[in-house]
Amino acid sequence: MYAQMIKSTGEGVKSLEDMDPDERAFQERINAGGKIEPKDWMPDGYRKTLIRQIGQHAHSEIVGQLPEGNWITRAPTLERKAILLAKVQDEAGHGLYLYCAAETLGVSRDQLTRDLLSGKMKYSSIFNYPTLTWADMGAVGWLVDGAAIMNQVPLQRTSYGPYARAMVRICKEESFHQRQGYDIMMKMAQGTEAQRKMAQDALNRFWYPSLMMFGPSDAESVHSAQSMAWKIKVNTNDELRQKFVDQTVPQAHYLGLTVPDDDLKFNEETGHWDFSQPDWNEFFDVLKGNGPCNVERLEARNKAWDDGRWVREGLLAHAAKKKATHLAAE
């Protein structure tokens, strides 16, 4: 989701019999619902896959600040401005928690940041789409956060302790994010003609990109199988996407908005909504860097990082001076 295309380093899932004793003990612990903690032995592939996954998740939170940050200075009321700012601030906090979780695996935040800024590490495709009207703040909260929550709730039970604990905190804090988005959508949908148009337009533009957030179908993927065996992925992409559609379609109807999918139909037999797949070519284009906002997002992050260098260095230099003075005084 926020970590869409994580390749695990394993070559398929080994059976318990094929594992060496360390690996077997590790896998049995996970099977029994145990948590892996930073100093525990872990297979190299587990560590590397987790660094990628948590790192990508953290990057998504940080880059995710930008499309919503785009509207903070144009929020239409003081209360909406405060809510949006608090929400985007939470995203920064969530990025921070996740970077800290990744750091327990032996990688530094600055290193992860450098890999984001150079384009070596990815972030969720969704944040490469522009926010063009105020209704997009509603759509992002309702759809994007809704999709994110769907993925994050099960991750509270993930096998890696620091990651699971970060997710617990994140889920607790995120509970208001989707609601504030839907609240904006309700106001727009019940508002003037222009506001209703804006709301529908936002849904049209964000529907398929939201479905892409879950990643392509993973039925065939060995990476997914390994990640699921390690319990760093809990549900398949398709399961989560279906769950999201089932939850979201009635919410769209309540708003009086039309989901932009002519083939959307409730299937009495399965009890689920049948829906059209997003254009996966577009998805891969966005991942490759050709989304509408890839360039701007990375430029913004690079600029913030470069502009901030003297601040980080300055405060560190001051801390070192203070320490030296204290030592001299002792």
Partner 1 sequence: MSSPETSPYKGTEAADHGPARHNEWPLWEIFIRGQHGLSHRHVGSLHAPDAEMAIKNARDVYTRRNEGVSIWAVEADNIAASSPEEKGSLYEPSNAKVYRHPTFFDIPEEVGAM
Partner 2 sequence: MTDPLFEYLCRMGDNTLVLSHRVSEWCGVAPVLEEDIALANTALDLIGQTQLWLGLAGEIEGKGRDADTLAFRRDVWDFRNVLLAEQPNGDFGQTMMRQYLFDAWHLLQLKALKGSSNAQISAIAEKAVKEVTYHVERSGDTVIGLGDGTEESHQRMQKALDRLWPYVGELFVSDAVDQALSAKGIAPEPTSLREEYDTAVNAVLAEATLTRPDSDFAHQGGKTGVRHTEHLGHMLTEMQWLQRAYPDATW
* Contacts with partner 2, residue ranges (CB under 8 A): 62, 65-66, 69, 72-82, 85-86, 88-89, 92-93, 95-96, 99, 134, 184, 187, 191-192, 194-195, 300, 303-304, 307-319, 321
Task: Report the SS3 class of residue 56.
Answer: helix
Exactly one of 104, 204, 217, 247 binds partner 1 (CB under 8 A); which one? Answer: 104
Q: Is 75 in the site for partner 1 (CB under 8 A)?
A: no
Q: Is 304 in the site for partner 1 (CB under 8 A)?
A: no
Question: d(Cα 51, Cα 120) in Å, to the nearest integer?
Answer: 13
Q: Is 103 in the site for partner 1 (CB under 8 A)?
A: yes
Of residues 117 and 188, the one with the C-beta less far from partner 1: 117
* Cβ count within 10 A of residue 314: 10
Given a contact cutoff of 8 angstroms between Cβ atoms, the answer to whether 87 and 69 are in contact is no
Q: Is 111 in the site for partner 1 (CB under 8 A)?
A: yes
At its nearest, how many Å lie between partner 2 and the CB of residue 68?
8
Q: In the stretch 4-43, what mask flags binding to partner 1 with x, by CB under 8 A?
A: ---------------------------------xxxxx--
Closest by Cα among 270, 302, 243 to 62: 302
* Cβ count within 10 A of residue 61: 24
Rounded to 5°, the CA angle 131-134-135 comes to 90
| Window 173-212: residues binding partner 1 (CB under 8 A) | 173
Task: Report the SS3 class of residue 160.
Answer: strand
Of residues 154 and 161, the one with the C-beta less far from partner 1: 161
Q: How far is CA 74 from CA 9, 133, 147, 154, 223, in A?
A: 44, 10, 25, 35, 43
Within 156-214, residue ranges assigned H as helices are 161-189, 193-212
Residue 106 binding partner per list partner 1, partner 2, none, with a CB distance cut-off of 5 to 8 Å that depends on partner kind: partner 1
In the complex, the residues that contact partner 1 under the rule CB under 8 A are 37-41, 47-48, 51, 89-90, 93, 96-97, 100, 103-111, 114, 165-166, 169, 173, 312-313, 315-316, 318-320, 322-323
